[in-house]
Amino acid sequence: MSADFHTHDPDASGRALISAPGPLPGRIVSLELHPWSVGTDFPGVPDDFAGRLAQCAALGEVGFDPLCGDAKRQLEILPELLKLAENSNKPVVLHLVRPTEAVFDILERHELRFLVHGFRGKAEKLARYLERGYFVSLGEKALTDPGVAEFLKRRGLARIGFETDAADADIKSVLDRAAKMWEMPDLERAADAAFDEFLWGKTR
pTM: 0.94
Q: What is the CATH number of the domain that holds 14?
A: 3.20.20.140
Can you tell me the distance from the alpha carbon of 87 to that of 50, in angstroms, rounded to the nearest whole number?
9
Assess contact for 170 and 13: CB atoms under 8 A. yes
- Conformation bin of residue 63: beta by default, left when phi > 0, alpha when psi is -120 to 50: left
Q: What is the pLDDT of residues 19-52, one digit of tens each?
A: 999 999 999 999 999 999 999 999 999 999 999 9
Owning domain of residue 179: 3-200
How many independent structural domains does the chain possess?
1
Using the Cα atoms of residue 44, residue 100, residue 70 and residue 37 in order, give the sign of their dihedral.
negative
Cis bond leading into 61, ω under 30°?
Answer: yes
Q: Report d(CA 133, CA 73) in Å as an integer.
A: 26
Instruction: Name the stretches of the chain with pLDDT < 50.
Output: none
